[in-house]
Copies of this chain bind each other. A is one copy, B any other.
């Protein structure tokens, strides 16, 4: 590919934007054109995301969709919160530019369910179905030809990657239980009571049990993956580290399956997915092994002790800002523009 993808970002001050900017300026096939924001306007990105120091030329600018598109961009990343994306996306659609949207606004096909869980009235429901759900391991072919991507949520990404092989094999049915701690970076850049260090550094809590807005997204995705009569019961937890999500899924499987069969099912499913690593039996994912990277680690365990349906645990670990947001967005971009899926995404994390 000779010509670089010209891409801009709308929403440049969040943590996902920090990760996105870093990976775009390092990406061999991308030219990051502009970074738009309504906060910190006029500041260099390095004043807000301090890891950049004074080394990048980008200034945060308050730009309209029209102004952004006037720079002849091929792609806009909407790193915007829910309820803001559905106001901006229609204008980019009219302007004919490709879109990767980070919010939840174009993920859920059932707009009534979206409205209920996001406590709003979607103002652009007619465009929802034109977005492809950007989970490469499920929708790779659709993403390749897509012009608009709804980039998946962080918890749904981890949950899907722990369960996709079951769906394809016809083993995903009924109630799926998901319990998942997330790091504090998931709460965003705005300080709040929940991220106040004197409390958070030694705290852990569950929140929105069985009612988190990612629950319907999980149900839709697992159904699309081949699940039947899917109901996801999801409990997220706040944990005292910075980055990462550890997803614990428990489901029932038929009595005839064995752990070895399940392991083969998983390794087969992901054999062409370079960013998913199925761990050997007896090993389980850890946040530190994937933090700061786009990789996903998956481990499984089958309980073989009793008669009747067997309980099966699938555990995945992802970085919420990379694979759960900006890394996945780049993975989608790579596919949309005919690049190698892992371009700009195969750096090693950090150790220790």
Contact = CB atoms under 8 A, between A and B. Distances in A.
A289 B347 CA distance: 20
Interface stretch (A121-129, A196-204, A261-269, A327-335): A196-204
Contacts of A204: 181, 239, 241, 244, 246, 286-287
A324 interface: no
A51 interface: yes
Nearest to A241: B202
Contacts of A239: 181, 204, 239-240
Contacts of A291: 202
Contacts of A74: none
Contacts of A35: none
A249 to B, nearest CB: 10
What band does the interface of chain A fall in when counting residues whose beta carbon is under 8 Å from B?
35 or more
A21 to B, nearest CB: 9
Interface stretch (A63-71, A95-103, A136-144, A206-214): A206-214
Nearest to A113: B305
Nearest to A293: B51
Given A15-B198, A198-B242, A210 B285 contact: no
Contacts of A323: none
Interface string A50-81: 11111100000000000000000000000000
B209 A301 contact: yes
A240 B237 contact: no
Interface string A16-45: 001100100010000000000000000000
Contacts of A52: 348, 351
Q: Which of A50, A55, A302, A350 has the most CB of B within 10 A?
A: A350
A348 B51 contact: yes
Q: Which of A193, A201, A306 has the most CB of B within 10 A?
A: A201
Contacts of A51: 288-289, 293, 348-351
Contacts of A301: 209-211
Given A22-B348, A197-B184, A197-B242, A235 B209 contact: no
A221 interface: no
A168 interface: no
Given A233-B303, A246-B237, A18 B351 contact: yes
A207 B317 CA distance: 13
A241 B175 contact: no
Contacts of A83: none
Contact of A209 (B206, B252, B284, B288): B284
A272 interface: no
Contacts of A351: 15, 18-19, 22, 49-52
